[in-house]
Amino acid sequence: MSAQTISPSLTDNPLCSDWLTFEADGRVTLKTGKVEIGQGILTALVQIAADELDISPDRFDVISGHTALGPVEAGTSSSLSIEVSGKAIRHAASAVRKLLLTEAGTLLQAEMSNLSVVDGAVHVGGRDSSLTLSSLASSVDLGQSVMEFASPKQPGERRLVGTSMPRIDLLHKAVGEHFIQNIALPGMRHGRIVQPPSGVRRLVTFDEAALASKFPDVTIVRNGSIVGVIAETEAVVIKAIELAAKLVTWNEPEPPPKNIFGTLRALDNAPEVTADKGDVAAVTGKKISLTVTKPYIAHASIAPSCAIATWTASDKIEVLSHTQSPHGLADGLGVVFGLDGMNDITVIHKPGAGTYGHSGQDDAALDAVLLAKSVPGVPVRVLWSRADDFQSSPAGCAMVVHAEGVLGDDGRIASISMESLSQPHAQRPGRGGFAEMTNAALLDPPLPVTPVSADVPPARGGGADRNATPLYAIPNVHVQKRILQKWPVRTSALRGLGGYANLYALEGLMDELAEAAGQCPVAFRVAHLEDKRAAYLIERVAEMAGWPGPSGEGEAIGVAVSQYKNKSAYSAVAVRVRLDEEVRLLNVYAAVDSGEAVNPDGIRNQIEGSIIQAASWTLKEALAIDGDRIATDGWDAYPILKFSEIPEIEVELVDRPELPSLGVGETAVGTTGAAIGNAVKRAIGLRLLDLPLTRDAIQAAINK
Amino acid sequence: MATEIEFEVNGGRQRVKEDGATPLLLALRNNLELRGTRHGCATGNCGACAVLVEGRPVTSCNTPVEAVAGLTVETIEGFERDAVGKALLGAFMNEQAGQCGYCLAGILIRAKAFLVNTKSPSRADIAEALDDHLCRCGAHHRILTAIERAANELSGGQAA
Ligand code: FES
Ligand code: FES
């Protein structure tokens, strides 16, 4: 196998020393481009490396998301970290072990087959030789090819992988000062900018004198349409920026944008066809169609976006950021400031609160660098306000999804057609050599306009079309998407991308087709699944939930199944709901198959969390839009699921040690939303198509 | 106008020179360099910044520092000084209750005040007590289980 087929990260970082180095004190440094965003990835990667090296996990330190010291890897997204970085690390660690043991064999004049490793100590014939892997590392060149020496252990030989090792970072995150928001560098000052209402606005006036007279000690920074302040203390910055926001005026955008759903429905640009099989137009039978709308939703992290930047006297930039793509951010900042992202800019990842996608992290970094440029050598920290974080972060896309199925006379599905309409789902910094940060376009001189994003290509799992292609064996299938470009509300990646809305429509359609065929939704799905892993899960989750359970009378179970991106982890979800005035979640059951489970409890934790987050989207969440800008300014206007609304949750993993590990962060969001929609239909006989399913939406549907 | 404000934090006397209207959150984090207390919404809506004042949970982001003059404050840095704190933190780690962990400091603080005053709470009681705390990661289920577990340990193993 080539490096590329094992992991693209090995092509870019082919050497053992790109991934692992040994320190003089016997500690091991594991290096990864992937970053911890609450998903437990660093723990899982340490498990993998520790297993291959036979060194205890507590001897490891991790360098993560450091553009100067770590490997160059793509950002942490799409549930790919285990699949890509994990595989690279497994191979690299096995190669390091081989190189070091070869040296031990020479020194000890022993056969390789006679050597073993016990927590880093080399044993010969079962006896401690007094050599350790780390002592050997000082005389062995680890700058050698991973692929040449890699020989990972067989699944049965792994001892740590497959165990629920506790998170290496959780205690610090509970009680410590572990987050970017908590870092204070020596001499650091605080800054903020007045966030423009949207990327299409330009500053018209700013009464700088009024601000300066009220706050004589703050540094006022101006660049194009950006107004910012820097001060000694955070308390002063907060007050100064509040006043500054009242001292600016903005132009009114032309022409005022229309309602997003109307705009999406009216799209008539050429569709991109992402799946086409048979001939859907030629099919006859009973036709069922439905259209789902999903509003813009927020990443809504508990901590607002934050960054600390230093612009050095020699025109280098160092940025601490909770970005998910350190290299992309460095490239993006390079474009904005005319520097070489690779050599002049260092981005170092520091953990933030969970954002579940591309929120304001990168934009906050741009703000910090912009301000830092005017005070060379001084670190400047920017922490957005909660309102800024709702209003200036990219949003999760609003979508319209048309789903249509035809039931043949034989009671089987003859065709399914899907059309997904939305803005692009991933517009991260550095893409294609462009900045991709809103405020970059508002500087003087403005940067060249970023070309439109074609959305995430099917090879990377698709964006608007993610999971729109049915997993079921259906003879005629047509899937297409239309992307709305140049819309003032900026969008980017949020957990699951288009998969959440597409599955709400597609798995809803499956229930409608089953009903039309007079069949049980579970059996109907199984009858259309050639994929045995998916078929097993839907039957298993039905059993866990006590399917079919009650039906009607305001209480019911709904089910859904999918494979994330049609090529990653599988999940089947069953939700039991009760409807009184609103949807009350009673129980959620999930059966999950993600191949070899590196850390089963970590996987359960991710699945539980994604179920709760998707339930929150489904029942509550929508950003309010006012023309070109996001109007939602705080938690009062954006409720999320509360503790007293949390259902009982039961997750079962199907461990398949013989199959490759697949990322699980996103697989259950689409199935959870769809299962709720299906449960509501079975409970009250109404299919609710416009998300979210709030109390008002339920009442309106019942009264109609 | 900066004035001298004195209060007790985690058992030790502290003095800050600050504008009395400055939020306690900023005084703790920036003046006293106790940054374990989390800066969340800063508007009193998320619970991330909770601390105990005279044993009662308050959101420090909308409590002016002058309001705690002469009073006792407990932050997450002082959390493990008593049996309830130890039991809670142990239970959170045992249950691996948390993902990004940002919400946890405030939730632990709230849970402590709750358990000190409530023996053998039901799961629903615990959930209700935490309703002012937001968690974006969906760690709620485990957090509830961890608090149940701590409550159980503290009551000598008699389940609620
Ligand atoms: S930060 Fe105080 S309640 Fe949110
Ligand atoms: S664990 Fe991330 S916000 Fe609660």
**What is the separation of C-alpha A563 from the centre of its chain, rounded to a whole number of angstroms?**
16
Does A447 map to a domain? no
Task: Summarize pLDDT for A279-332 with one digit per residue, the tens.
Answer: 999 999 999 999 999 999 999 999 999 999 999 999 999 999 999 999 999 999
Task: Summarize pLDDT for A24-74 with one digit per residue, the tens.
Answer: 888 999 999 999 888 889 999 999 999 999 999 999 999 999 999 999 888
CA of A517 to the centre of ligand 2 (A): 43
Name residue, tokens 């699951």: A496
Task: Summarize pLDDT for A4-19 with one digit per residue, the tens.
Answer: 778 889 999 999 999 9
Strands A60-64, A28-32: pairing kind: parallel
Q: Mean pLDDT for chain A?
A: 94
Contact between A608 and B38 using a beta-carbon 8 Å cutoff: no
Q: Is A166 on the interface with B (CB under 8 A)?
A: yes
Cβ(A91)–Cβ(A71) below 8 Å: no
- For residue A102, what pLDDT is reported? 95
- The number of distinct structural domains making up chain A is 3
Average pLDDT for residues A128-144, to the nearest whole number? 94
Average pLDDT for residues A566-571, to the nearest whole number? 96
Strands A413-422, A476-483: pairing kind: parallel
Q: Tell me which residue of A638, A201, A215 sits closest to A386, measured CA to CA.
A: A638
Q: Is the CA virtual torsion A295, A299, A303, A309 positive or negative?
A: negative
Dihedral pair phi/psi, residue B82, rounded to 5°: -130, 170
Average pLDDT for residues A462-466, to the nearest whole number? 97
CA of B105 to the centre of ligand 2 (A): 10
pTM over 0.90: yes
**For residue A552, is pLDDT > 70?**
no
Q: Tell me which residue of B148, B110, B141 sits closest to A613, measured CA to CA.
A: B141
Domain that holds residue B110: 82-154
- For residue B72, what pLDDT is reported? 98
Does B120 map to a domain? yes
Contact between B35 and A646 using a beta-carbon 8 Å cutoff: no
- For residue A157, what pLDDT is reported? 92
Using the CB atoms, write b or e for A395-425: b if 16+ within 10 Å.
bbbbbbbbbbbbbbeebbbbbbbbbbbbbbb
Domain that holds residue A195: 180-252+299-392
B94 in the same domain as B64:
no
Contact between A174 and B104 using a beta-carbon 8 Å cutoff: yes
A194 in the same domain as A116:
no
Does A536 map to a domain? yes
Report the range of poorest mean pLDDT among A35-39, A150-154, A455-459: A35-39
A208 in the same domain as A332:
yes
CA distances from A464 to A273, A290, A461, A493, B72 (A): 12, 17, 10, 10, 53
A162: left (phi > 0), else alpha (psi -120 to 50), else beta?
Answer: left
B73 in the same domain as B34:
yes
B105 in the same domain as B62:
no
In the three-class reduction of DSSP (H, G, I as helix; E, B as strand; rest coil), residue A590 is classed as: strand
A559 in the same domain as A479:
yes
- For residue A655, what pLDDT is reported? 86
CA distances from A664 to A130, A247, B59 (A): 41, 47, 35
Euclidean distance between CA atoms A450 and A486, whole angstroms: 10
A578 in the same domain as A529:
yes
Q: List chain B residues with CB under 8 Å of A644.
A: 124, 127-128, 131
Q: Where is the domain boundary, A174, A198, A232?
A: A174
Which parts of chain B are beta strand (E)? 2-9, 12-19, 50-53, 56-59, 72-74
CA of B46 to the centre of ligand 1 (A): 5
| CA-only gyration radius of chain A, Å | 27
For A525, which DSSP code?
A: H
Contact between A181 and B137 using a beta-carbon 8 Å cutoff: no
Ligand 2 lined by B141 (C-beta under 6 Å): no
Does B133 map to a domain? yes
Helices (H) and strands (E) in chain A, counts: 20, 26
A515 in the same domain as A498:
yes
B92 in the same domain as B72:
no
Could you tell me the CATH number of the domain that includes residue A237? Answer: 3.30.365.10
**For residue A626, is pLDDT > 60?**
yes
Does A25 map to a domain? yes
To the nearest 10°, report the CA torsion of B119, B122, B124, B130: 30
- For residue A580, what pLDDT is reported? 87
- For residue A221, what pLDDT is reported? 98
CA distances from A38 to A345, A362, A440, A606 (A): 26, 18, 29, 9
Euclidean distance between CA atoms A382 and A380, whole angstroms: 7
Does A209 map to a domain? yes
Of A174, A606, A640, the CB nearest to B136: A640
Atom of ligand 1 nearest to the CA of B62: 2
Could you tell me the CATH number of the domain that includes residue B98? Answer: 1.10.150.120
Euclidean distance between CA atoms A641 and A645, whole angstroms: 6
- For residue A255, what pLDDT is reported? 67
Dihedral pair phi/psi, residue A396, rounded to 5°: -70, 140
Contact between A612 and B140 using a beta-carbon 8 Å cutoff: yes
Chain A interface disruption, residue of B80, B99, B103, B125, most A CBs within 10 A: B99
Task: Summarize pLDDT for B81-119 with one digit per residue, the tens.
Answer: 999 999 999 999 999 999 999 999 999 999 999 999 998
Nearest CA to ligand 2 atom 4: B135
In the three-class reduction of DSSP (H, G, I as helix; E, B as strand; rest coil), residue A222 is classed as: strand
**For residue A208, is pLDDT > 80?**
yes
Q: Which helix (H) or strand (E) holds A409?
A: none
Looking at chain B, which residue has its C-alpha nearest residue A650? B141
Average pLDDT for residues A133-154, to the nearest whole number? 95
B87 in the same domain as B148:
yes
**For residue A434, is pLDDT > 80?**
no
Give the residue, A625 or A80, on which the prediction is more confident.
A625
To the nearest 10°, report the CA torsion of A169, A173, A178, A180: 110
Which among A302, A606, A616 is the best mutation to test ligand 2's pocket, defined by most ligand atoms within 8 Å of the CB? A302
A91 in the same domain as A10:
yes
Does B119 map to a domain? yes
Does A470 map to a domain? yes
One-letter identity of residue A558: G
Q: Angle at Cα A217 formed by Cα A213 and Cα A219, nearest 5°?
A: 95
Cβ(A645)–Cβ(A590) below 8 Å: no
| CA-only gyration radius of chain B, Å | 16
**For residue B159, is pLDDT > 60?**
no
- For residue A566, what pLDDT is reported? 96
Euclidean distance between CA atoms B108 and A221, whole angstroms: 40
Q: List chain A residues with CB under 8 Å of B131.
A: 642-644
Task: Summarize pLDDT for A222-280 with one digit per residue, the tens.
Answer: 999 999 999 999 999 999 999 999 999 999 887 666 789 999 999 999 999 999 999 99
To the nearest 10°, report the CA torsion of B114, B117, B123, B129: -40
Q: Where is the domain boundary, B34, B60, B77?
A: B77
Task: Summarize pLDDT for B39-63 with one digit per residue, the tens.
Answer: 999 999 999 999 999 999 999 999 9
Segments in A342-466 forming alpha helices (H): 361-372, 386-392
Does A272 map to a domain? no
High-pLDDT (> 70) share of chain A, %: 98
Of A605, A611, A616, the CB nearest to B99: A605
Does B89 map to a domain? yes
Q: Where is the domain boundary, A174, A198, A226?
A: A174
Does A282 map to a domain? no
A207 in the same domain as A150:
no
Does B99 map to a domain? yes
A106 in the same domain as A144:
yes
Euclidean distance between CA atoms A593 and A567, whole angstroms: 12
Q: Is A186 on the interface with B (CB under 8 A)?
A: no
Does A676 map to a domain? yes
Ligand 2 lined by B100 (C-beta under 6 Å): yes
A137 in the same domain as A86:
yes
Cβ(A372)–Cβ(A309) below 8 Å: yes
Cβ(A601)–Cβ(A585) below 8 Å: no
Instruction: Report the interhelical angle of B140-154 vs B104-117 (nearest 10°).
Output: 30
Confidence of residue A449 (pLDDT cuts 50, 70, 90): low
Of B30, B92, B133, the CB nearest to A233: B30
Cβ(A497)–Cβ(A557) below 8 Å: no
Q: List chain B residues with CB under 8 Å of A305.
A: none
B88 in the same domain as B110:
yes
B134 in the same domain as B97:
yes
Q: List chain A residues with CB under 8 Å of B35.
A: 177, 182, 184
B97 in the same domain as B60:
no
Atom of ligand 2 nearest to the CA of B138: 4
A408 in the same domain as A375:
no
- For residue A438, what pLDDT is reported? 84
Of A177, A303, A643, the CB nearest to B140: A643
- The number of distinct structural domains making up chain B is 2
Task: Summarize pLDDT for A336-349 with one digit per residue, the tens.
Answer: 999 998 899 999 99
- Ligand 1 pocket (Cβ < 6 Å) reads B 40-42, 44-49, 59, 61
B86 in the same domain as B68:
no
Contact between A174 and B89 using a beta-carbon 8 Å cutoff: yes
CA distance B155 to chain A (A): 23
B42 in the same domain as B105:
no
Ligand 2 lined by B2 (C-beta under 6 Å): no
**For residue B32, is pLDDT > 90?**
yes
- For residue A109, what pLDDT is reported? 94
Furthest C-alpha separation in chain B: 53
Q: Tell me which residue of A487, A498, A479 sits closest to A453, measured CA to CA.
A: A487
Average pLDDT for residues B124-146, to the nearest whole number? 98
CA of B74 to the centre of ligand 1 (A): 16
Cβ(A192)–Cβ(A243) below 8 Å: no
Does B160 map to a domain? no
One-letter identity of residue A351: P
Looking at chain B, which residue has its C-alpha nearest residue A636? B45
A414 in the same domain as A364:
no
A240 in the same domain as A360:
yes
Average pLDDT for residues A564-568, to the nearest whole number? 95
Spatial neighbors of A553 by CB under 8 A, at least 6 apart, are: A683
Of A174, A238, A613, the CB nearest to B101: A174
CA of A622 to the centre of ligand 2 (A): 20
Which parts of A384-471 are beta strand (E)? 399-407, 413-422
Q: Where is the domain boundary, B22, B46, B77?
A: B77
B65 in the same domain as B34:
yes
Which among B92, B99, B142 is the best mutation to test ligand 2's pocket, defined by most ligand atoms within 8 Å of the CB? B99
- For residue A256, what pLDDT is reported? 61
Confidence of residue A450 (pLDDT cuts 50, 70, 90): low
Does B55 map to a domain? yes
A341-400 residues touching B, CB cutoff 8 A: 351-356, 383, 385-386
Ligand 2 lined by A40 (C-beta under 6 Å): no
**For residue A433, is pLDDT > 80?**
no
Task: Summarize pLDDT for A376-397 with one digit per residue, the tens.
Answer: 999 999 999 999 999 999 999 9
Does B54 map to a domain? yes
